[in-house]
Amino acid sequence: MKTSSLRKTLGLSAAALAMGCGAALADADDNLVVNGEIEMVTQTEAPEHVEYLSTIRSGWTYRSDETQQFQMDDFDNPAMIFVDEARASWNTAEGSEGKSCASCHGTPEESMKGLRAVMPKWNEEAGEVWTLEKYVNDCRENRMGADAWGWTSTPMRNMTALISVPSRGMPVNVAIDGPARETWERGKELYYTRTGQLELSCANCHEDNHDNFIRADHLSQGQINGFPTYRLKNARLNSIHGRFKGCVRDTRAETFSPGSDDFVALQLYVASRGNGLSVEAPAVRN
């Protein structure tokens, strides 16, 4: 414990000396370059709408060297097995229309680049904020004539990871004004609400105490730029709403359901707190 805060203090002052400003917290081994070519912004100045943080940091910067390592090369990233599974499903025709994703969208590299960076976003036709899951199921139900996938189901987690891959390295840039504003405000309210018998809000752990240990866990800022995320703990991809649910449950509260309007609103708000960080999905966490 002592060492980590000491390291933080030393890291900060060294960076401040070297750069003449206090913005960067990273030390040399905190640079994330994937496959030797995709340079990730893992910490940067906080967007204006994030009132109580000056620097935003990817969850990757809080992880141990060994966990960080998994994400630096796709050959070592266990999430890529699931991305490959999704690629097979991308090319498989399903449903009454005999179509696959590929029938309309070509390859994910051609058609999906940049999408993950702006998710979730306002859908004009639907008149609400949509996440990747909603877009995927809209295609499945209305264009393929196939069954919708469960929000946190395996094919959905895998597919959202595949769709994220072409956006890796691009800055998260979700829109929070215009028609999305109301949803964003709702999400913000949820973020600061102290729920459950432990009366803890997201902000208590991820804003007030990031970089502190809570028992054996090194608290991050709870950013979602790396989602869906492969966790060494359960050896599979984990959805954003699945993670939210786990954190709310840990406050001894009644959780919201994955896919609920509340969690979509919270997702928009949390995503916006990461505006400026790179899309890392699928990231690796413990």
Partner 1 sequence: MTRSAFLVAGAIAAAATAATAAEIKPGDVAYGEYGAVEQSLTGAPGDPERGREIMGTKSLGNCVSCHAVSDMSDIPFHGEVGPTLDGTGARWSEAELRGIVANAKMTFPESMMPSFYKTEGYIRPGDGFTGKAAEEPLPPLLTAQQIEDVVAYLKTLKEM
Which of these, 252, 258, 250, 271, lies nearest to 49 by C-alpha position?
271
**Cβ neighbourhood burial of 171 (10 Å; 0-12, 13-18, 19+):** middle
Interstrand relation of 38-40 and 43-45 (parallel, antiparallel or unpaired): unpaired
C-alpha span between 14 and 25 (Å, rounded): 9
SS3 (DSSP) at 34: strand
Query: Given the complex with partner 1, which of 153 and 204 has the nearer CB atom?
Result: 204
Residue 285 interacts with ligand HEC (CB under 6 A): yes or no = yes
Residue of 18, 21, 28, 216 that binds partner 1 (CB under 8 A): 216
Which residue from 255, 267, 272, 275 is in contact with partner 1, where contact means CB under 8 A? 255
| Binding of ligand HEC by 222 (CB under 6 A) | yes
Q: Which does 252 bind (CB under 5 to 8 A by kind): ligand HEC, partner 1, none?
A: partner 1
Query: Site for ligand HEC (CB under 6 A): which residue of 244, 259, 274, 275?
Result: 244
Pull the structure tokens for residue 232: 């060494």
State the residue for tokens 């696959």. Answer: 100
Q: How many angstroms separate the CA atoms of 14 and 28, rounded?
A: 11
Radius of gyration of the chain (CA): 19
Q: Kindly state whether residue 278 participates in binding ligand HEC, applying the rule CB under 6 A.
A: no
| Residue 229 binds to ligand HEC (criterion: CB under 6 A) | yes
139 included as an active-site residue: no
Interface residue list for partner 1 (CB under 8 A): 1, 5, 193-200, 204, 208-209, 212-216, 245, 248-255
Residues tagged active-site: 247
Interface residue list for ligand HEC (CB under 6 A): 59, 200, 202, 204-206, 214, 217, 219-220, 222-224, 226, 229, 243-244, 247-248, 250-251, 266, 270, 285
